[in-house]
Chains A and B, each alone.
Chain A
Amino acid sequence: MTDQASDDTANPEESTSRRDFLQIATYTVGAVGAGLAVWPIVDSINPPADVLALSSTEVDLSPVEVGQSITVIWRGRPVFVRHRSEKEIEESRAVPLDAMPDPQKDEDRTQKAEWLIMVGICTHLGCIPNGQRPTDPKGDFGGWFCPCHGSHYDLSGRIRKGPAPTNLEIPAYEFSDDTTVKIG
Chain B
Amino acid sequence: MKLSKSIILPFLDWVDYRLPVFSYARHNLIDYPTPKNLNYWWNFGSLAGIVLMIMIITGFFLAINYTPHTDYAFSSVEHLMRDVNYGWLLRFMHANGGSMFFILVYIHMFRGLYFGSFKAPRELLWIIGVVIYLAMMGTAFMGYVLPWGQMSYWGATVITSLFSAVPLIGDTIVTWLWGGFVIDNNTLTRFFVGHYLMPMVIFMLVIVHMWALHQHKSNNPLGVDMRTPADSIPFHPYYTIKDMVGMGVFFIVYFGFVFFAPDFFGEPDNYIEANPLVTPPHIVPEWYFLPFYAILRSIDNKLIGVIAMFAGVCILFALPWMDRCRVRSAKFRPIYRQFFWLFFADCILLGYIGAQTAVEPFVTIGRIATAYYFAHFLIICPLICKFERPLVPPESISAGVLKAQKGAE
Contact = CB atoms under 8 A, between A and B. Distances in A.
A30 interface: no
A127 interface: yes
A184 B159 CA distance: 27
Given A46-B179, A51-B180, A128-B277, A148 B186 contact: no
B281 interface: yes
A76 B279 contact: no
A46 B175 contact: yes
Nearest to A43: B176
Contact of A127 (B180, B184, B279): B279
A142 interface: no
Contact of B180 (A47, A71, A126, A147): A47
B297 interface: yes
A47 B179 contact: yes
Interface stretch (A11-19, A59-67, A161-169): A161-169
A148 B276 contact: no
Contact of A165 (B182, B299, B301): B301
B162 A125 contact: yes
A84 interface: no
Interface string A27-68: 000000000000000100111100100000000000000000
A124 interface: yes
B283 interface: yes
A125 B180 contact: no
Contacts, number: 78
B70 to A, nearest CB: 11
Contacts of A148: 158, 279, 283
A164 B302 contact: yes
Interface string B164-196: 100000000001101111101010001000000
Interface string B264-292: 00000000000011110111000000000
B154 interface: yes
B283 A127 contact: yes
Interface bracket on A? 20 to 34
B153 to A, nearest CB: 11
Nearest to B363: A150
A165 B303 CA distance: 9
A77 interface: yes
Nearest to B172: A46
B302 A51 contact: no
Contacts of A147: 279, 281-283
B181 A75 contact: yes
Contacts of B282: 147
B359 to A, nearest CB: 8
B179 A127 contact: no
B45 to A, nearest CB: 35
Interface in B194-210: none
A124 B277 contact: no
Contacts of B299: 163
Interface in B131-158: 154, 157-158
Closest 4 A-B residue pairs measured CB to CB? A126-B161, A125-B161, A76-B182, A126-B157
20 contacts: A45-B190, A46-B175, A46-B179, A47-B178, A47-B180, A73-B277, A76-B181, A76-B276, A77-B181, A125-B164, A126-B158, A127-B279, A128-B278, A148-B279, A148-B283, A149-B358, A162-B300, A163-B297, A163-B300, A163-B302
Given A76-B184, A128-B277, A163-B299, 8 more contacts: A47-B186, A71-B277, A126-B160, A127-B279, A127-B283, A147-B283, A163-B305, A165-B302
Interface of A: 42, 45-48, 51, 71, 73, 75-78, 124-128, 147-150, 162-165
